[in-house]
Structure 1
Amino acid sequence: MSPLSRFAVVLCLSLPLFAACNRRPAAPEPAAPAAAKPALSFDEGLAQARSHQSPLIVDFHAPWCYSCYFMATNILTGADWAAVEKKAVVVEVDADSPDGAALMQKYGIKFLPSYLVLNAGGDELGRILGEKTRAEFYPQINKLVDSGETLDALRATVTDGAPTSVVAGRSVLKSYLARYDAAGGLQWLTTLSADASKALHDDTAAALTIARLQFLQASQQNDGDAVLRIGATVLAGDLGCERPYELDRYFEFASKRPDAHALIAAQQPAAEKLVATGVFGDRPCADKRSAVLSLADIDDALGDQTAKKALLERAIADVEKDLGGDLKKDRNLDDNLRIYNDQLAALTGNYAAYDALMPRLIDAWPDDYVYAARWGKSLLARGDAAQALPQFEKAAEQAYGINRLQVAEQRVKALQALDRDADARRVVADALKANGPWFPDEAARLKALIKA
């Protein structure tokens, strides 16, 4: 599976900046819900932060983002989160909305969820990417909120080989990695004094982050030889639960090589260890799904379909145990159950369990388009346009922003497969009218279906 599918990435469009919509993924109602706060747009939140001289936390999410649901229901809760909200203004930005896409573009947000922290003046203090455990997330978010230190200020403290300078240097390097700015981070290293540079290269944690920046840069430059050479160094390090994300980048290049089997097989033991401890063991990763799918990809690449099947079946059983039959319990677990069943069905050719699960998920979460659209897309790919079309029509009732166009695209394909070209043209016209000037690439792709 590609890096885009493992760690949800939104491709941003060049759009003018407006106040961001706040369409939070629906979570189960608590037993005694507190009074809901009015949702703030980005501009309102920034104005409030300036007025109170408080930091601003911008929570980027989307309705299809399973990691976002995990964070919303498991991490951004309780006394810890309440304490953060007391000292910072929090706004939620839906990446699928036109204004959300504009903010993604403005701040270079590439992963969901992302938590961008700005000071009262609108300068970035840092960002946190992806699923985290509470033990990982709260020290990071509190450090960003409490320090009030911008990247420029932090860089100025990296002056020599002293322990405080090394600690600051680690933070700077991690900031560049979180921004996906490999070139910037590596260029910054060249500006350091000899003592500061040596100290960071000699520090295990900092050296691994430097290698990850070099690895990222090699992949961005499409330098396959460098990717494999540096990637081997990165993957030999202690990546913890972030290993699947680096594995994805490595596989993209390793799979094209004549010795792909050997290159990928060398990564199998570490991937198996991560699944044993981080998925089924006593040191759980926040993002169990990526660990499972990375190992499944390895099994698939090595031709071990038996191992892949056993892994997916065990992952399904593990999720079903956690859900206890209640699909309204945890949306993140639901989506893990969906993808594991989908992968298993694709492997075995038996979609009975998947097709039985999808209507249950639609019933459990009736207020968004996601599961109806996903099921429709699966049915259409299997050649069943007649069964797919009602699912796309159901999804279209809830779709908005960029997903309005994406659902319309699938709906048009189903209609065309049923020789209903006039209806397909009406769907395109209605979707384009509702969309307005936004998301030109998706709009052009939709128009092209009719021209074809």
Structure 2
Amino acid sequence: MPQTHRRMKNPLLASLLLAMLPSVGVHAADAKAPLTIDEALKVSAEQHRPVLVDFQAVWCYSCYYMASHVLNGPEWDAVQRKAIVVEADADSPDGQTWMKKLNASFLPSYVVLDEHGNELGRISAEQPREKFYPKVNAILATGNTLDGLKQKALKGSDDDIASVLEAYQARSEGNEGLDWFAALPTARQQNARKNSRTVVALDQLTLIKALAAKDNTAVIASAQKVLAQDIGCQRPYVLDNLLDATDKLPAAERKALLATQRKPLDTYVSTQVLVAKPACADQRSAVLTSAELDETLGDQAAATALLDRAITQTRQRLGSNLASDRNLADNLRIYLTRAKRTAELDDYQRKLIAAYPDDYVYAYRYGRSLVDTGKPADALPYLAQAANKAYGANRLAVALQRVKALKALHRDDEAKKLADGVLETNGPWFPKQAEALKAALKA
């Protein structure tokens, strides 16, 4: 999945995010060494504390937000006293295995497990502090398995039913959630439908089911139904689904259908996103989805104006210290890319490399952009810098660009030696990336 793409949160694309090698740590007060999730569960059994798995990735802009704005301070210290906190790299085999096992479709995801690996609750995607801590503390205090929630809902309130449906939604299990609701007594279903939380959750589950079935007609119908409600910070993601599903419609029909989304999205962006204190943590998705909607409706001027506004505001908030807020710093990179402000982007990418020298990401991205624009000699030093810090599938991705650059410079022997070494180090992992590297050698 392209790093610049707005759809990082799409549950159906989440499997594309999983492909590299580990970087797993623990934040227990008495920890002596990093833990895998399985090792953390063993400690959980000994200490009678739950495990909080923080699924993240080095390129995840939403993870940057959480690191800068949420996972710090006395509230976070208190969480680490209550739970064994494990940072699981979603690009590692361990993280990849557990994300699939738990059906964790978003980055970041925070999943609380008991000592047996049973889920007690989860929080999906970035959240502002005022939303994250009440949620995580409630899970740690009263967390229960989904089966426990369902048992409670059978005799409990309509809100209990809504909680079960929202748990299925967080897991992207549309069919399962709808089937569970359909099995409730008719009277319970009828009463539950009077609860606004239940209505939204059922519509979201219907959308998830349609997405899984790749049924565009059903996606269009259910997405419109969801968008007609007050869904807060979920609006850009649902609108992404609608934009995708309508892509093959006749242009006039598509514009007429999407035009109804212009006003509510404008209101959302102006009141909850591009403001001094944003109510929604993920500003990037809102900006990029809004620009795409403008362009789809044929209003390029509006799209340009929105991106310019986002660039100006982000620069003002970020200031000159790019290391002060990596989420904002990376957002600015994406806005410049989307706005095609190439000269500014080149200068800015070099500044990002200097600001974040300890990982491969920015050196790799800039080197790749130089390869793509026909500057292989200029790309090689940046790609070499990235290679020193890359791992897993990242290592293969960097090697692929280095091979392309070397072959463009007719340095085929060096390209083969480099690829052979990386493939030997990689072993059997990440076969698709390995095949892409082998194919580049033959190109």
TM over 0.5: yes
- CA shift, 1:261, in A, is 1.4
Q: Secondary structure at the match of 1:175?
A: helix
Read off the aligned partner of 2:40 and give its amino acid letter.
G
- CA shift, 1:38, in A, is 4.5
Alignment of 1:393 with 2:384, yes or no, is yes
- CA shift, 1:359, in A, is 0.7
With over 3 angstroms needed to count, the CA separation of the structure-2 counterparts of 1:444 and 1:343, relative to structure 1, is same
Partner residue in 2 for 1:322:
317
CA distance in structure 2 between the aligned counterparts of 1:73 and 1:332, rounded to whole angstroms: 8
- CA shift, 1:315, in A, is 0.8
Q: Secondary structure at the match of 1:122?
A: coil
Partner residue in 2 for 1:105:
100
Alignment of 1:368 with 2:332, yes or no, is no
Read off the aligned partner of 2:262 and give its amino acid letter.
Q
1:21 corresponds to which of 16, 20, 23: 23
2:233 corresponds to which of 241, 249, 259: 241
Read off the aligned partner of 2:428 and give its amino acid letter.
P
Partner residue in 1 for 2:375:
384
Q: Secondary structure at the match of 1:159?
A: helix
Read off the aligned partner of 2:134 and give its amino acid letter.
P
Partner residue in 1 for 2:255:
261
CA distance in structure 1 between the aligned counterparts of 2:428 and 2:202, rounded to whole angstroms: 41
CA distance in structure 2 between the aligned counterparts of 1:339 and 1:410, rounded to whole angstroms: 21
Partner residue in 2 for 1:75:
70
Alignment of 1:443 with 2:440, yes or no, is no
Q: Secondary structure at the match of 1:60?
A: strand
Instruction: Give the gaps of 5 or more residues in structure 2.
Output: none
Asked if the contact 2:104/2:171 (under 8 Å) is kept, the reply is: yes
Asked if the contact 1:248/1:294 (under 8 Å) is kept, the reply is: yes
TM-score (norm 2): 0.92
Partner residue in 2 for 1:31:
none
- Which 10-residue stretch deviates more, 323-332 or 441-450? 441-450
Per-residue CA deviations over 1:50-78 (Å, capped at 9, x if unaligned) read: 11111110001111001101111211111
Read off the aligned partner of 1:255 and give its amino acid letter.
D
Q: Secondary structure at the match of 1:155?
A: helix
Partner residue in 2 for 1:30:
none
CA distance in structure 1 between the aligned counterparts of 2:42 and 2:87, rounded to whole angstroms: 15
- CA shift, 1:451, in A, is 3.5
Read off the aligned partner of 2:243 and give its amino acid letter.
F
> RMSD across aligned C-alpha pairs, in angstroms?
2.3
Instruction: Give the gaps of 5 or more residues in structure 1.
Output: 25-33
CA distance in structure 2 between the aligned counterparts of 1:377 and 1:201, rounded to whole angstroms: 51
Partner residue in 2 for 1:29:
none
Per-residue CA deviations over 1:255-288 (Å, capped at 9, x if unaligned) read: 2211111222221111111110122235531111
Partner residue in 1 for 2:413:
422
Partner residue in 2 for 1:124:
119
Asked if the contact 2:9/2:125 (under 8 Å) is kept, the reply is: no
Asked if the contact 1:155/1:172 (under 8 Å) is kept, the reply is: yes
CA distance in structure 2 between the aligned counterparts of 1:295 and 1:182, rounded to whole angstroms: 27
TM-score (norm 1): 0.90
1:60 corresponds to which of 36, 40, 55: 55
Asked if the contact 1:14/1:102 (under 8 Å) is kept, the reply is: no
1:404 corresponds to which of 389, 395, 406: 395
Alignment of 1:250 with 2:242, yes or no, is yes
CA distance in structure 2 between the aligned counterparts of 1:36 and 1:273, rounded to whole angstroms: 47
CA distance in structure 2 between the aligned counterparts of 1:43 and 1:388, rounded to whole angstroms: 40
1:50-199 equivalence runs, <5 A: 50-159=45-154, 164-199=156-191
Asked if the contact 1:369/1:399 (under 8 Å) is kept, the reply is: yes
Asked if the contact 2:41/2:114 (under 8 Å) is kept, the reply is: no
Asked if the contact 2:41/2:115 (under 8 Å) is kept, the reply is: yes
CA distance in structure 1 between the aligned counterparts of 2:120 and 2:45, rounded to whole angstroms: 15
Identity of aligned residues (%): 44
